[in-house]
Structure 1
């Protein structure tokens, strides 16, 4: 709001005095009356926009600010207020050019801190991007402009770290999080952020130490607990399962932890406990392809192949790019003596997942079942070339089948 020392009329002075006291009932009729006879008074238009903005009347505020900018394009306060309002309303495409103009104007009594606010708002917009086209490099440049005007804040450091992560610059992200932790060792956001970077770099022991220390200060933090579980799982540590079970009892609605617990239960061989969790999650989100694939994998291990096929078919119809679902469908359909479906599933799977010795064997046995000797032989050979003694039973079978298939050649 403009300083009352710069007012040009007693009416506006009285309205602005009321605005300073949040006395909207006094200010509004004065401004309405004044604007009825002075419709292009930039100062009064801005004040009316400020009043509407403070009352949460976004559309009215936007209209008044827009008229104020039109009446005086060099009004920094009108430009930045309009830009910030549009950003809050989710109108990034409209907000950005307005804020860019604001950064070129003299902030006057508002000071450089207000101009820095415009740059920070631009950084937030560019981080997400207009129309979903994120531009982390421009967001970083915006933040640098803000830091030329005002000191770095905790929010700035976290923002810079997240931008570095988005750009794949783990070194800069780690440095930013460590800088903040040095300043504020109790920062949950810095701890979780640094742990995320360390986990992405597969520095699991270091991440484990960091998260355990942070959990001493924030024992109920779900993000830190999830990260500890993740690093324990990555290191195949037995503590992962009881940790997840305990946290799940306290927070049964935490979807991320529930998924992790379901997977760890499956890895531990407790397929029934795992599947109970998948079924509950699917009841809330029946079209989640990853959940359907996990459910299907458990059904295979429980030898419920027909149900597994149904789950995988649903998953692939929802997300055709889900390689794990196609993988599961291939195995389930073979167990159901439907090798044609198996070959189709394997063909699509190969678009999204690399071939393995086990998959070569499945290719071979599916073709063998269909009496396609040429293809069966080729895949049995590929299986033997990659198995390297890890699958003795299947290797013996492959050699026996090759002796039969290639007899007389």
Structure 2
């Protein structure tokens, strides 16, 4: 099988609506095992026969009196949950599935159905717990297809949080039954999360060879191409996908990133502006647009976006950092210092923010803050010409001549002609400091 070979050779789609399995013994309708364990003349058997034909209301009417007489019947409780699930009453269905599990903890079907329903309700961790218990159980009567469904659903849910486990669960699904249309895409997503780019790229390309309209596969492959800095290869893929789905926010975001890397800043900003209008509440898009404005030398346009986003997420380190950079570009140094200090309280390991703080403090003549910021930066990154120069000028302005000379000399040794203006200043300050000594 293609997917099995890809998965074994290497080492998604999100969880969409899953087909809930029919109750025990109800599929196929004409199977000899359909009513295994249930007398054909009982209301329970009649109800399940109606359910197999999707006649849910007659089935419900048969089940209600049965449950009045048999309130702990796990199978009947599951049947009721199945009907509620099929008729799109998820909260009631969850309760019924839970009652069925409480009545029989070893029943496979309610575990699977509850896991699938919780996944559709974006309650992923709870779904994973139910599905893990489901795959450890056996359906009654045997149903390899339902078992494969449980393993496959579990693989989808775990594909980013636990890709190694997801890979094993997908392989189990493939051992139990035939390959499904989305399995190659799922393999690609698992491989991506597992940093197996070779397997992931092969799988994404295989999906696109059969389904060139797949936005998910396009986005996955483009992610890998951007990672490999293959921007010229990514752009036509994105434009082709967007010709089919021009409003897709993920594809538009990727195209904006691609164009930015290619130096096509104006077009990238235009895309992000449209996206921001479509999804003004999306912090990622807002942050990208603000960053594009800042990078393009329009910090005044970025400022209201960042301010608005920070009202909703005041402790978001990325937003605080972005605002600090933006304020630095606007020469609003005291405000930049405050924003960067707030960002560093949340994420103190950000060496770039420590450097930006040192620059803002130097511009604001807060030389003690410069030295403190550079000392903190040194915990997370190596010293460079920039940090040497900032230290030198801070010590110089604090009249600590010995340290200033030391760092001016370190700066000149590491700058290698890359910063002629600063080199000229350092050379002249060394002369002046030498005379003063």
Moved more, 268-277 or 387-396: 268-277
Query: What is the aligned partner in structure 2 of residue 62 from structure 1?
Result: 98
Query: What is the aligned partner in structure 2 of residue 182 from structure 1?
Result: 209
Structure 2 vs 1, CA of residues 296 and 33 (structure 1 numbering), >3 Å: closer, same or farther?
A: closer
SS at match of 2:355: helix
Q: Residue 163 of structure 2 contacts residue 193 of structure 2 at CA under 8 Å; is this kept in 1?
A: yes
Q: Residue 276 of structure 2 contacts residue 285 of structure 2 at CA under 8 Å; is this kept in 1?
A: no
Q: Residue 66 of structure 1 contacts residue 82 of structure 1 at CA under 8 Å; is this kept in 2?
A: no
Of the three residues 230, 233, 244, the one matched with 1:206 is: 233
- Superposed, 1:209-228 pairs within 5 Å as 209-228=236-255
Query: What is the aligned partner in structure 2 of residue 99 from structure 1?
Result: 134
Of the three residues 370, 388, 394, the one matched with 2:416 is: 388
Alignment coverage as a number of residue pairs: 394
Structure 2 vs 1, CA of residues 42 and 311 (structure 1 numbering), >3 Å: closer, same or farther?
A: closer
CA drift at 1:190: 1.0
Query: What is the aligned partner in structure 2 of residue 311 from structure 1?
Result: 339
For the pair 1:115 / 2:147, whether they are aligned, the reply is yes
Structure 2 vs 1, CA of residues 381 and 176 (structure 1 numbering), >3 Å: closer, same or farther?
A: same
* 2: CA distance, partners of 1:10 / 1:159: 43
SS at match of 2:290: helix
* 2: CA distance, partners of 1:77 / 1:354: 57
CA drift at 1:242: 4.8
For the pair 1:332 / 2:368, whether they are aligned, the reply is no
TM-score of the superposition, structure 1-length normalised? Answer: 0.85
For the pair 1:287 / 2:323, whether they are aligned, the reply is no
Output one character per residue of 1:374-394: Cα deviation in whole Å (capped at 9) or x when no partner. Answer: 322222122112211121121
Q: Residue 293 of structure 1 contacts residue 328 of structure 1 at CA under 8 Å; is this kept in 2?
A: no
Query: What is the aligned partner in structure 2 of residue 397 from structure 1?
Result: 425
Q: Give structure 2 stretches of 5+ with no counterpart.
A: 1-22, 27-33
Moved more, 204-213 or 326-335: 326-335
Structure 2 vs 1, CA of residues 77 and 205 (structure 1 numbering), >3 Å: closer, same or farther?
A: same
Q: Residue 211 of structure 1 contacts residue 224 of structure 1 at CA under 8 Å; is this kept in 2?
A: yes
Structure 2 vs 1, CA of residues 167 and 331 (structure 1 numbering), >3 Å: closer, same or farther?
A: same
CA drift at 1:66: 3.4
CA drift at 1:167: 0.8
Q: Residue 395 of structure 2 contacts residue 403 of structure 2 at CA under 8 Å; is this kept in 1?
A: yes
- Superposed, 1:32-43 pairs within 5 Å as 32-35=67-70, 39=72, 43=75
Structure 2 vs 1, CA of residues 322 and 313 (structure 1 numbering), >3 Å: closer, same or farther?
A: same
Q: Residue 346 of structure 1 contacts residue 363 of structure 1 at CA under 8 Å; is this kept in 2?
A: yes
Structure 2 vs 1, CA of residues 320 and 144 (structure 1 numbering), >3 Å: closer, same or farther?
A: same
Of the three residues 373, 376, 379, the one matched with 1:348 is: 376
For the pair 1:270 / 2:305, whether they are aligned, the reply is no
Q: Residue 278 of structure 1 contacts residue 291 of structure 1 at CA under 8 Å; is this kept in 2?
A: yes
* 1: CA distance, partners of 2:82 / 2:241: 43
* 2: CA distance, partners of 1:93 / 1:79: 10
Whichever structure has more helix as a proportion of its residues is 1
* 2: CA distance, partners of 1:43 / 1:256: 46
More contact order relative to length (CA 8 Å, sep ≥ 6): 2
* 2: CA distance, partners of 1:207 / 1:385: 41
Moved more, 134-143 or 15-24: 15-24
TM-score of the superposition, structure 2-length normalised? Answer: 0.80
SS at match of 2:136: helix
* 2: CA distance, partners of 1:341 / 1:99: 58
SS at match of 1:291: helix
